[in-house]
Chains A and B, each alone.
Chain A
Amino acid sequence: MSDETGVPSYLIPRISPEAAEFFAGTVRGELRVQRCASCGLHHHYPRMFCPHCGSDELTWVTASGRGTVHSFTVIRQQGIPMFKEQVPFVVALVDLDEPGARFIAQLPTVAPEHAVIDMRVQVRFRPASEDMAFVEFEPHE
């Protein structure tokens, strides 16, 4: 358990080289995603290669942090400690306003009965370790 954050160490992913900029951004409070210079689409998780068109002409941009819920579920049964104590909670697929990038994240401030598809959301960061924060979303407007 990392004392500061309450996130158990076994839930902290290894930072892979292609994702280093993404995680560094989460510590600064910036949502960094890759944009393809060839097709103009964004993607997440970070890669060496655009999954939309196959180009390797990728640049990092800071996303607006705003997006739309594409779908969601309410997790009511979870065996992993931390999550087990947190149920019920909402997990959503969020399409960023920047086309092409989809995130999967918790909506921790949205009560299960208030979660709906198409709701507008905005990113927030939950510190997980010295080197990263987890991406979450909360209602926007």
Chain B
Amino acid sequence: MNRRVCVAGVGWADGPKTPDLTAMGLQAQAFGRATADAGLTKSDIDGLASAGYGGMHEVQLAEYLGLTPHWLDSTSCGGSSFEFHALHAYRAIQAGDVDTVAIVYGNNELSTAGRSLGTGRSGGGGAAAMPYPMSFELTTGLTLVGAYAMAAQRHMHQYGTTAEQLASIAVQTREHAARNPHAMYRDLITVDDVLGSKLVADPLHKLDCCVVSDGGCALILTTEERARDLGRPLVYVRGAAAGMTHHSIQGMPDLTVTAGAVTGPKAFAEAGIGPSDVDTFQMYDSFTYTVLVCLEDLGFAPKGEGGAFAASGALRLGGALPTNTDGGGLSATHPGMRGLFLLCEATRQLRGEAGDSQVAGAEIAVAHGSGGWLSTMGTVVLGTEPV
């Protein structure tokens, strides 16, 4: 059996600020909206995937939602977990192990934790509670932002990438956020605004970093046959691949190359496309550098030329590669992990339901998630036609 797989439904929870909702409540809201969008009821869902919390989270979520799925995926490898879920669900549906999988994420990061993302909150459990490798890193005072900053710094050194080029990514993403009523920040910004914002960890400024928000979303994958019956515009999974290179930044083999250099070409090959076929790119923009390095790794620009490509205006609506058309993590929403939002926005574009942010005639969309410290990468190619 090798069945085709389609997106049945997508849904978004409230956001970007929801002080009255719990993380579980946001997940339930997103799930309910995705099933309604698909025209399904919860009894149609026989697979569930989620990530971002402790062990058995997806089991707890199933109970909360009143589901008894026979297929579960709790892969939790950072923000790209959801591209891994989509890959696993795609294969399992192809093979006939499961028919309809809901992938769900939601978190009230902003309302519970405040805006200290990636710069350390407190001693927490302390160094004694750290995973072994991290005990050699966190004792240096390095932050999450700092880890990405060291990678960006190396890229600048090797290839002459500039802070202005990185800033241009934030500027173009904000243009898209300005069109999204649910985005956290909507006022247009300039390269000078980015460079004039506080340096958090050189060379990354505050506006090179993603926002901290509340929010959630859900994506339902099913067979082509069932998707046809549901009557929503068909969006096919054409290819997917996932991989990793390291855990903490001290173990990254090359600070200027991610596992996207493997997962991108692999997913594109399965999908029967090349970089020039991609109409819109939904890219995990934890930081501007994450976008820049993956533009290169997925082949949208040669290695070392991601900065010039981005600064040319390629990422804006109407550009060569409209990227993060919902305003991204940099401006719209980032409740701790963003991987699932990429798949939902890609679907919205391919259905032609993106309103003011619609990429005209979009037929191929790529969602690429990054997790950890540029550690784990997952690429999913969606299209309006099967391979």
Contacts and interface: CB of A to CB of B under 8 A. Distances in A.
A16 B201 contact: no
A61 interface: no
Interface string A104-129: 11100000100001000000000010
Where chain A touches its partner, the secondary structure class is mixed
B132 A76 contact: no
A41 interface: no
B123 A10 contact: yes
Interface string A1-36: 000000011111110100100000000000000000
A11 B127 contact: yes
Contact of B123 (A11, A72, A77, A128): A11
Interface in A73-94: 73-84, 86, 89, 91-93
Which of A71, A78, A80 has the most C-beta atoms of chain B within 10 angstroms of its own C-beta? Answer: A71
Interface size class of A (residues with CB under 8 A): 35 or more
Contact of A93 (B119, B126, B250): B250
A65 B153 CA distance: 24
Contacts of A117: 153-154, 157
A49 to B, nearest CB: 13
Nearest to B124: A10
Contacts of A73: 142, 146, 149-150, 153, 201-204
A102 interface: yes
Interface stretch (B49-57, B133-141, B340-348): B133-141
Given A11-B126, A70-B154, A73-B204, 9 more contacts: A9-B126, A11-B123, A11-B127, A44-B136, A76-B198, A80-B122, A82-B141, A104-B249, A106-B140
A-B pairs with the 3 shortest C-beta distances? A10-B126, A13-B135, A10-B123
Interface of A: 8-14, 16, 19, 44-45, 51, 70-84, 86, 89, 91-93, 102-106, 112, 117, 128, 134
